A and B are shown apart, each in its own frame.
Chain A
Amino acid sequence: MIEVNGKQVEWRKDETVDGLLKRMGYSFPIVIVRVNDRVVPYTEFSRFVVPDNSKIDVVRLVSGG
């Protein structure tokens, strides 16, 4: 199992950050993703494989400042 934004979610072998975001139905264009206290750069979303028992935070960023 993994935890995504406080929710228990089934872990899938070889699933990347991109894959997980898709599975969770997160369609936000810009997000910050943290896996076990480490921010995963956007450029690594398609390569970074989520380990089992991970704690994942996904934060949506919108323009405005």
Chain B
Amino acid sequence: MVDLRKREEVRGKLRRVSVGIAGLGGLGSNAAVSLARAGVGKLVLVDFDKVEENNLDRQYYFRHQIGKFKVDALAENIRSIDPSVEVDGFNLRLERGFMEKPFNDVDVVVEALDDAEIKAAFIEEILSKLPGKPLVAASGVAGYGSSDNIKTLRLGNLFLCYDEHAPSSEESVLIAPRVALIANWEANLVLEIVLNRWLSD
């Protein structure tokens, strides 16, 4: 049975939380939907891409959304789940030197980008320009199986969902179960960060 009082207490806290997500592919789209279902009050979503047919094997979009901008398609899907979640979509490519811009005011930033070089640049910029802001990132999404190799590595304000042995997406496949697992690992870390911070405050 669900303890309704506890549920409302947690949802009440999450309602006041804002989370920024950089990249709305397999990681970002699945993490955003989980956070919306959990009751996070505001999501800031950033991507420049459109939904393509070959995204549907792992990303939280539907066939009828092919050709739409991901920020719009994901906002639509979140609205269908819970219209009270505030969604701020930025249809733009993150440019080096300005990557932190959309995330100035959120409580936690989620790195959900694809390319390793861009991931590294984003992590460097967020940690240096937004000191004190928790950043959740991921590396080692590709492939299948080996769930037990995934760990959370904490380095200061960086919470990295990490499989040091995993292949890159150029060497292996990106496929739904592992992508969704790591996306939800990131979302789960966000909850841990915001709820535990409230507890300790």
Interface residues, chain A, with chain B CB atoms under 8 Å away = 29-32, 34, 37, 39, 41-42, 57, 59-65
A30 to B139, CA, bound (A): 11
Closest CB in chain B relative to A11 CB, distance in Å: 21
Query: Assuming A34-B155, A41-B128, A59-B160, is B169 touching A64 (CB within 8 A)?
Result: yes
Q: Which residue of B lies closest to A34 (CB)?
A: B155
- Can you sample 9 A-B contacts with CB below 8 Å? A30-B117, A31-B120, A37-B156, A42-B121, A57-B155, A59-B155, A61-B119, A62-B139, A64-B179
* B112 on interface, CB distance cutoff 8 Å: yes
B155 adjacent to A65 (CB under 8 Å): no
B residues 155-179 near A (Cβ < 8 Å) are: 155-156, 158, 160, 162, 164, 166-170, 174, 179
B residues 85-122 near A (Cβ < 8 Å) are: 112-117, 119-121
Q: Which residue of B lies closest to A65 (CB)?
A: B114
Majority DSSP secondary structure for residues of B touching A? mixed
A60 adjacent to B164 (CB under 8 Å): yes
B residues 20-34 near A (Cβ < 8 Å) are: 23, 25-28
A62 adjacent to B168 (CB under 8 Å): yes
Interface residues, chain B, with chain A CB atoms under 8 Å away = 23, 25-28, 112-117, 119-121, 123-124, 127-128, 138-142, 153, 155-156, 158, 160, 162, 164, 166-170, 174, 179
A61 adjacent to B141 (CB under 8 Å): no
Partner of B114, one of A30, A32, A63: A63
Closest CB in chain A relative to B45 CB, distance in Å: 14
A62 adjacent to B160 (CB under 8 Å): no
Closest CB in chain B relative to A36 CB, distance in Å: 10
A61 adjacent to B169 (CB under 8 Å): no
Q: Which residue of B lies closest to A40 (CB)?
A: B124
Instruction: Specify which chain B residues have a CB less than 8 angstroms from the CB of A63 in the assembled complex.
Output: 114-116, 119, 142, 168-170
